[in-house]
Amino acid sequence: MRRIRYQEIADDLRERYSDAAAGSMLPSESEMSTEFSVSRVTIRRALELVRDDGLIAARQGFGWYVAGDPVRQSLETLGTIEGEVEGVGKISERKIAEFAFEEAPERVQRILDTEQVLRVKRVNLADGQPFAVVTVWCPADLGANLSRRDVERRPFYELLDIRLRGARQTIGADLAGPDDAELLGVPEGAPLLRCQRVTTDETGCALLVSEHLFPAHRTEFVVDLPRAEPTMTPVGLRIVD
């Protein structure tokens, strides 16, 4: 029986992406239309066939990507991203993109009550795929003895010789700028989940400010509520001016 063109393309895509890492981005529909010399309508029908198999998925702002379970992070404990990733059997890696002692942004100065900070920007990977861009600021005197190699191998919580009390996390939404989009392997302007964490010592003094950017198609935050509340509104919801 003669194969319809979009079915042939679907077979090609199945073979091409059957072993690809979850979250990997596919070329745009326009690029695939050029590659296969067919209309975008034909490409869309092929993609929909492969999606029906559960191999790929699509989300507004991202386009098409290889389907898979998202990386889940619990917000109830003062843990690390690496711990969450390794806990579900994935290989965790971190790559340092920037390491600098510098003047802190105004918002970080207000939180840490200092002008000079160590700023570290890194990319976190799960099974070789980038799933977070993390920027951490700590007072310069606190990070004076830390090296680029130190923060690439171990989290700040283990490197600082200070007992920690806890942290406050604020979750929001953002769009990927050009630099972060390149690091995460997503289109510029793609939706991101943004988590800001302020970590304090036992006296309540802020020691670390960190900003975590996650591609929305690869990440979920999980919170277990301790008891049933008489409302369906998420606990802690605050309207931002």
Percentage of the chain beyond pLDDT 90 is: 51
Residue 232 lies in a domain: no
Same domain flag for 182 and 90:
yes
Quickly count: other Cβ atoms within 10 Å of residue 59's Cβ.
13
Same domain flag for 182 and 196:
yes
Dihedrals phi, psi of 180, to nearest 5 degrees: -70, -35
Residue 102 lies in a domain: yes
Same domain flag for 20 and 37:
yes
Dihedral, CA atoms, 13, 18, 24, 29, nearest 10 degrees? 10
Residue 175 near residue 189 (C-beta atoms within 8 A) = yes
Please determine, for residue 134, whether its predicted confidence score (pLDDT) is greater than 60. yes
Same domain flag for 39 and 125:
no
d(CA 208, CA 137): 6
Residue 76 lies in a domain: yes
Residue 229 near residue 223 (C-beta atoms within 8 A) = no
CATH number for the domain including 166?
Answer: 3.40.1410.10
CATH number for the domain including 10?
Answer: 1.10.10.10
Residue 230 lies in a domain: no
- pLDDT given for residue 1 in this prediction: 44
**Which residue from 151, 87, 71 is spatially nearest to 118, judged by alpha carbons?**
151
Tokens of 115: 């002008």
Q: Would you place residue 127 in the very low, low, confident or very high pLDDT band (cuts 50, 70, 90)?
A: confident
Q: Would you place residue 221 in the very low, low, confident or very high pLDDT band (cuts 50, 70, 90)?
A: confident
- pLDDT given for residue 241 in this prediction: 54
What is the b/e burial string over 31-45, where b = at least 16 CB atoms within 10 angstroms of the residue's CB? ebbeebebeeebbbb
Tokens of 77: 């404990």
Roughly what angle, to the nearest 10 degrees, separates helices 29-36 and 5-17? 110
Tens of pLDDT, residue by residue over 32-75, are 999 999 999 999 999 999 999 999 998 877 789 888 877 776 66
Higher confidence at residue 8 or residue 24?
A: 8
Query: Per the structure, how many domains does the chain have?
Result: 2
Tokens of 96: 């340092």
- pLDDT given for residue 231 in this prediction: 54
Residue 138 near residue 177 (C-beta atoms within 8 A) = no
Structural domain of 46: 5-66
Tens of pLDDT, residue by residue over 99-125, are 999 999 999 999 999 999 999 999 998
Residue 235 lies in a domain: no
Same domain flag for 90 and 57:
no
Same domain flag for 140 and 36:
no
Residue 37 lies in a domain: yes
Tens of pLDDT, residue by residue over 179-202, are 999 999 888 888 899 999 999 998
Q: Which residue has the tokens 């895509």?
A: 13
Residue 217 lies in a domain: yes
Same domain flag for 101 and 175:
yes
Same domain flag for 53 and 110:
no
Residue 107 lies in a domain: yes
Tens of pLDDT, residue by residue over 68-95, are 877 776 666 656 777 777 777 778 888 9
Same domain flag for 33 and 127:
no
Please identify, among 66, 92, 119, the residue that sits at the C-terminal boundary of a domain: 66
Same domain flag for 48 and 145:
no
Percentage of the chain beyond pLDDT 70 is: 88
Same domain flag for 163 and 215:
yes
The residue-averaged pLDDT of 142-169 equals 87
Strands 71-74, 219-222: pairing kind: parallel
Dihedrals phi, psi of 81, to nearest 5 degrees: -60, -40
Higher confidence at residue 210 or residue 154?
A: 210
d(CA 73, CA 84): 6
Same domain flag for 57 and 90:
no
